[in-house]
A and B are shown apart, each in its own frame.
Chain A
Amino acid sequence: MSGSGTSRKRVVVTGIGVVSPLAVGAELTWKRLIESQSGIGRITQFDASGLPAQIAGEVPEGPTAEGGLTLSDWVPVKEQKKMDRFIHLGLAAGIQAVEDSGWKPESEEDRCATGVMMGSGIGGLKTIYDNSVLVSSGKARRLSPFFIPSSLINLTAGHLSIRYGFKGPNHAVVTACASGTHAIGDASRLIQHGDADVMIAGGAESAICELGIAGFCSARALSTSFNDSPTTASRPWDEERDGFIMGEGAGVVVLEEYEHAKRRGAKIYGEIGGYGLSGDAYHITAPAENHEGAFRAMQAALKDARVTPSDIGYVNAHGTSTMADDLELGAVERLFGDAAAGASMSSTKSAIGHLLGAAGAVEAIFCLQAMRDGILPPTLNLDKPSRESVMDRIPHTAKEKHVDIALSNSFGFGGTNASLILKRFKA
Chain B
Amino acid sequence: MSNEIADKVKKIVVEHLGVEEDKVKPDASFIDDLGADSLDTVELVMAFEEAFSVEIPEDAAEKIATVNDAIEYISKQKAA
A78 is contacted by which of B17, B39, B46, B50 (Cβ under 8 Å)? Answer: B17
Interface residues of A in 142-164 (CB under 8 A from B): 142, 144-146, 149
| Chain B residue contacts of A5, Cβ below 8 A | none
Does any Cβ of A come within 8 Å of B26's Cβ?
no
Q: Contacting B43 at CB < 8 Å: which of A76, A77, A141, A146?
A: A146
With CB as the reference atom, state the residue of chain B lying closest to A148: B39
Residues on A with C-beta less than 8 A from B43 are 144-146
Inside 8 A of B17's CB, which chain A residues have their CB? Answer: 78
Beta-carbon nearest neighbor of A77 in chain B: B18
Which residue of chain A has the shortest Cβ distance to B41 in the bound complex? Answer: A145
A6-37 CB mask vs B (1 if < 8 Å, else 0) is: 00000000000000000000000000000000
Complex CA–CA separation, A76 to B35 (angstroms): 13
Q: Using A77-B18, A78-B18 as known contacts, say yes or no to A142 and B50 having CB atoms under 8 A apart.
A: yes
In the complex, what residues of B have CB within 8 A of residue A78's CB? 17-18
What 0/1 pattern do residues 57 to 101 of A give for CB contact below 8 A with B?
000000000000000000011100010000000000000000000
Q: Do B46 and A142 touch across chains, with their CB atoms under 8 A apart?
A: yes
Main secondary structure of the interface of B (DSSP, over half): helix
Alpha-carbon separation in the docked complex, A82 to B17 (Å): 12
Does chain A have a CB within 8 A of B31?
A: no
Which residues of B are found within 8 Å of A142, using beta-carbon distances? 46, 50
Taken together as a complex, chains A and B put the C-alpha atoms of A141 and B45 apart, in Å, by 12
B39 engages A145 (CB within 8 Å): yes
Kindly state the separation between the CA atoms of A77 and B42 in the bound complex, as whole angstroms.
18
In Å, the complex CA distance between A145 and B41 comes to 9
Contact string, B7-35, partner A, CB cutoff 8 A, digits 1/0? 00000000001100000000000000000
B71 CB to nearest A CB, Å: 22
Give the residues in chain B near A145, CB-CB below 8 Å.
39, 42-43, 46
Task: Report the separation of the CA atoms of residues A77 and B18 in the bound assembly, to the nearest whole angstrom.
Answer: 7
Return the CB mask of B52-77 against A: 1 if under 8 Å, else 0.
00000000000000000000000000
Counting chain B CB atoms within 10 Å of each CB, the highest count among A141, A142, A145 belongs to: A145
| Chain A residues with CB under 8 A of B39 | 82, 145-146, 149
Chain A residues near B50 (CB, 8 Å)? 142
Residues in B whose Cβ lies below 8 Å from that of A144: 43, 46
A227 to B39, CA, bound (A): 42
Tell me the bound Cα distance from A142 to B39 in angstroms.
14
Closest to B43 in A: A145
CA distance A144 to B42 in the complex (A): 8
Nearest chain B CB to A1's CB is how many angstroms away? 40
Q: How far is the CA of A141 from the CA of B46 in the complex (A)?
A: 9
Complex interface: chain A residues within 8 A of B42 (CB) = 145
Chain A residue at minimal CB-CB distance from B19 = A78
B35 → chain A closest CB, angstroms:
8
CB distance from B31 to the nearest CB of A (A): 14
Query: In residues 183-222 of chain A, which contact B (Cβ within 8 Å)?
Result: none
| B57 smallest CB distance to A (angstroms) | 11
Smallest CB–CB gap between A360 and chain B, Å?
32
Known: A145-B39, A146-B39. A76 touches B46 (CB 8 A): no
Q: Which chain B residues lie closer than 8 Å to A149 at the CB level?
A: 39
Roughly how many angstroms separate A142 CA and B43 CA in the complex, as a whole number? 9
Residues of B within 8 A of A76 (CB): 18
Question: In the bound complex, what is the Cα–Cα distance between A259 and B17 (angstroms)?
Answer: 44
In angstroms, how far is the closest chain A Cβ from the Cβ of B19?
8
| Residue on B nearest A144 in the bound complex, by CB | B43
A77–B17 alpha-carbon span in the complex (Å): 10
Q: Which 8 A-B pairs have the closest CB atoms?
A: A78-B18, A145-B42, A145-B39, A145-B43, A77-B18, A144-B43, A146-B39, A142-B46
A and B contact pairs by CB, cutoff 8 A, 10 listed: A78-B17, A78-B18, A82-B39, A142-B46, A142-B50, A145-B39, A145-B42, A145-B43, A145-B46, A146-B43
Besides A82-B39, A144-B46, A146-B43, 14 other A-B contacts (C-beta < 8 A): A76-B18, A77-B18, A78-B17, A78-B18, A141-B46, A142-B46, A142-B50, A144-B43, A145-B39, A145-B42, A145-B43, A145-B46, A146-B39, A149-B39
